[in-house]
Amino acid sequence: MSELTTTAPLTATGGPRPGARRRRIAALSAAAAKDAVRNRFALFFNFAFPLVVLLAFEFIYSGQHLPNGQPYSDYVAPGILAYGMANGAIFGVGYTLVQWRASRLLLLLKLTPTSRLEVLLSRYLVALAVSLAQTVVSVAVVSLPPFGFHLSGRWWAAVPVVAAGTAAFFALGCLVSSVAKTPDVVGGIANAALVPMAFFSGVFFPLPAVVGWIHGVSTVLPLRYLSEGLSATLAGTGSWHSVLVCTAVLTGFAVVLLGLAAKALRWR
């Protein structure tokens, strides 16, 4: 905190130097990363829980195919990965901000040159690192011979989808933290929002198998676009146009929600 509480050097125009801003963001990111590593509950829900759910579906539907001929493994793996990624982004930032507010760390940061944007950006970098790690671990496990996930050659295009999807759910987590008073409440709100969203977004079963009105609901849910974007890139089930659309929609969600989150962020 000593580095954060010092007065930032000023440029000739009177603003803080970019180097000082980068140091503050790096210090906050390191603090948030340590919180994420030390929190065993968060580690479980970020990595172990999605894998357990994914492997359960893999064993249940092993060798089965969808009506279009697609292996069920190729369908469900990106969807559950998207669910785990969204859960981790919401819970991670929501838990951290509520905890920092309760310990008055955010109030101390307000007394420094640190801005709201720097606080949010530093925490987003940690959330993005977690999402990328989730993707690597999950894909590595389900690609093993017993499960048979077929990784697409365009897997690298998942990076912008992951970045945009993490930003959208990160912003949603920031909004959750603005109304939650304790860390436990964050998990309750996150589950209340994500579980119905997962069913309406076709994470566990194809959308053509559900009634028509659910299709309309799914078009306004970011989890649908994250799931479809990951499926199009990791499993190769969609066109490049689909990848671009999903990334653009998730970016739009992120911009709108981050704007609301920046205004809703409470220091105390």
pLDDT digits (tens, 9 = 90+) for 256-267: 988 888 777 777
Tokens of 153: 């050659």
Count of beta carbons in the 10 Å neighbourhood of residue 166: 28
* Separation CA 56–CA 71 (nearest Å): 16
* Separation CA 1–CA 120 (nearest Å): 17
Q: How far apart are the first and last CA of the chain?
A: 18
Give the chain's mean pLDDT.
83
Listed residue (179, 139, 149) closest to 264, CA to CA: 179
Q: Which residues of the chain have pLDDT under 70?
A: 1-18, 207-213
Residue 88 Cα to chain centre, angstroms: 6
pTM listed for this prediction: 0.85
Chain segment 149-198, per-residue pLDDT in tens: 889 999 999 999 999 999 999 999 988 888 888 878 888 888 888 988 98
